[in-house]
Chain A
Amino acid sequence: MLQDILITGLINSGVYALLAIGFSLIFGVARIVNIAHTAFYMLAAYCFYALLVTAKLDVLVAGILAIVAITALSLLCYKIIIEPVREHQAAVLIATIALATIFQELMQVGFGGHYLGIPSTIGGAFTIGGMSIPWQRVLIIVVAAAMLAATWWLLYRTRLGLAIRATANDREAATLMGMNADRVAMASVAISVALAAVAGVVVAPVFVVDPRMWLAPLVTMLAIVVLGGLGSLKGSLIGALTIGYVEAITVFAVPAGAYLKGAIALSIMIVVLLVRPEGLYGVAFEEER
């Protein structure tokens, strides 16, 4: 059972980390609570479906095109909808909720309410410790790890990353030092949504694509970022691992209560918040700033 929990928890955590780190990044830099974040993940899955299954493009081409298209769309949405109200957090919150609902309705009109499936991009499975693991799931872990490493490299080893961190630290000071805060915010939006789009593309062949697929991960993602400390990338990663493993342990330890995995994860978040209201890494993040 231990190996089951280890593998399942790792897969859960990988997807959650991709979503939560992007969400945290955009909040840390631009103070945007982007409720539409997982809606972009849903759009990427649909886009991938349309390009791969309907247009019959090559897997890699379809995946890259889907990620690029959704990232471009997010920039457009940012310029038209979010930027004009960016200084008003409540307005941003409402605008992104509206945006996510619009995306959901549009997908429903375009593709119907049907549940869609995407063929595995890598077939087959292998057995380890008596547990059968499809290669497609290994791909999710590998892609998640690669994307997280790439994000870390971008943030800590490039000038853009430096600008992003500087803006997250102190927007006014960064502006006075000659950084264009608006452009940095746009870059953060692009990176953040690209991570969500990557998650959408890699999980689409494993999950079911439907217009409401953005809702469940939204709640989990919010729990992770609050648990880890809103705006803290390290906290998001730790939060994703915590929630991912708590869910896996719940299912294996209480089979008849598998549906409770979300509630248990959220309860842990509440307990952590009662002890540390800033989240696990809230202080560290403040120190970074």
Chain B
Amino acid sequence: MLRTLLSVMAVLSALATTAHAQSSIKIAILGPMAFVQGENHWAGAEMARDEINRAGGINMGGRRLTVELVKVDTNELQSVPDATNAIERAITRDRADFLMGGFRSEAVLAMQEVAMDNKKIFLGAGASLTKLGANVEANYDRYKYWFRISPTKDTDLIRTVFTILGSVAAQIRTDLKKEVPKVAILAEKAAWTEGLVPAVQKTLPAMKLEIAGLWQPSDRATDVTAELSAIERSGADIVFTLLSGPVGIVVGRQMGERNMKAVAFGINVEAQKDEFWSATAGKGQFVSTLDTFAEVELTPKMTPFVRAFKERFKKSPAYNAATYDGIYILKEAIEKTGTMNADQLVPFLEKMDFVGAAFYTTFDKRHDLVWAPGKTAGIAVQWQDGKKVPFWPPQIKGMQPFRMPR
């Protein structure tokens, strides 16, 4: 009797799973949900889910499937093992069909392995480490299920930064009538800046920029008074930042407190967030950084997306909110191929030409975004009187002038 009951329960359970899989597409959104990156992963995905489901869902070979999201807190900023456990859970317990998100490179590397073991399509929306894409090239059969939808890989990020730096330097040459502006390099000591710092030191002289010095505080430094004093004394016109940790806030705040004449530009992840202004207690004036979203017409979908995001969440989207595009990329791929089979979707994604809210997405052989200013290189913003003002690429409609502190 007991055996019969158990058999019936097993059959019912299997039927329920099958029925569930047929009515919806389950997408696991992976991110550090207590942090701004995870919040944006989730918010972008929620927006796409609601829009798609309101419009009737995803049409897979004539069958309408709703988008179902699974919120997976990877806690990756504090623990890489937590991240691998979370992705395992998403695959085995939540039975996610697709995986999306990730932020911290070390954690995403580990999660990539789990996803590839399970042959699940994983759209990365946060980590820039080159190795993630290099894996695809080195061992295609294993890593072909990985695609990076945001941001561009780290070496392309720095190409973008140099391009923008060139335009900032040109403005300084005009405004200050100084042919060779001085640049202080302020790079946090972290794995991701290791390769970038020598590249910056090599490239700046070629751009007719004089290097005033290199300062490398910890990414969690709470005080950079000493560094900024020395930078002031060096007579630098630009503080070129490579900062991803909370030190980015400290730098912005203390530069404001000291009324420094140099302008900060580069990568400052904290300055991309709306909370930067209040975190610097209103002292982050003129800090500028690479960013992804603003109310500009980089793509036709960007301004409507940013406005809807602000309306719904009362803040601007960060680059992790590109999960919004990720879900639409999956929708288009599933609808065009009529399947959720990963091996059939991969060739389609490789040839895809997708216009999203963040970028004009096309993938290279490493499944990285093909770098192109005005298409995938993102934008640059500057904090001006409490607002993030977009200023690059200047030819895009909606861009505003870059301002110098003096």
A residues with CB within 8 A of B:
1, 4-5, 7-8, 11-12, 108-109, 112-120, 125, 130-132, 134, 136-137, 203, 205-208, 210, 212-213, 216, 248, 251-252, 255-259, 262
Contacts and interface: CB of A to CB of B under 8 A. Distances in A.
Interface string B337-348: 000000000000
A114 B36 contact: yes
Interface string B206-246: 00000001111110111101110110110000000000001
Interface stretch (B43-51, B166-174, B253-261, B303-311): B253-261
A255 B230 contact: yes
B259 A258 contact: no
Interface string B182-221: 0000001100000000000000000000000111111011
Given A207-B222, A248-B226, A259-B216, 6 more contacts: A112-B35, A113-B36, A134-B257, A251-B217, A256-B216, A258-B216
Interface stretch (B277-285, B324-332, B361-369): B277-285
Contacts of B259: 125, 132
A207 B257 CA distance: 12
11 contacts: A4-B229, A8-B229, A112-B39, A115-B279, A119-B281, A134-B258, A252-B226, A255-B230, A256-B215, A257-B216, A258-B221
B246 A115 contact: yes
Contacts of A120: 257, 281
Given A108-B34, A216-B222, A116 B279 contact: yes
Contacts of A1: 230, 233
B395 to A, nearest CB: 34
Contacts of B279: 114-117, 208
A117 B225 contact: no
Contacts of B246: 115, 208, 210
A251 B275 CA distance: 29
B34 A112 contact: yes
Interface of B: 32, 34-36, 39, 77, 188-189, 213-218, 220-223, 225-227, 229-230, 232-233, 246, 249-250, 253, 257-259, 270, 275, 278-282
A257 B259 CA distance: 25
Contact of B278 (A117, A248, A252): A117
Contacts of A262: 218
A112 B220 CA distance: 17
Nearest to A120: B281
A255 B249 contact: no
A207 B214 CA distance: 23
Nearest to A207: B222
Contact of A256 (B36, B214, B270, B278): B214
A114 B35 contact: yes
Contacts of B36: 112-114
Given A208-B246, A256-B215, A113 B77 contact: yes
Closest 9 CB pairs of A and B: A251-B226, A259-B189, A113-B35, A117-B279, A207-B222, A119-B281, A256-B214, A134-B257, A4-B229
Contacts of A252: 226, 229-230
Contact of B223 (A131, A132, A206, A255): A206
Contacts of B39: 112
A51 to B, nearest CB: 16
Contacts of B257: 120, 125, 134, 136
A211 B216 CA distance: 24
A206 B224 CA distance: 11
Contacts of A213: 222
A8 B258 CA distance: 14
A147 B233 CA distance: 34
Contact of B270 (A113, A115, A119): A115
A77 B388 CA distance: 44
Contact of A12 (B223, B229, B270): B223
A232 B282 CA distance: 41
Given A259-B216, A259-B217, A208 B222 contact: yes
Given A208-B250, A216-B222, A258 B227 contact: yes
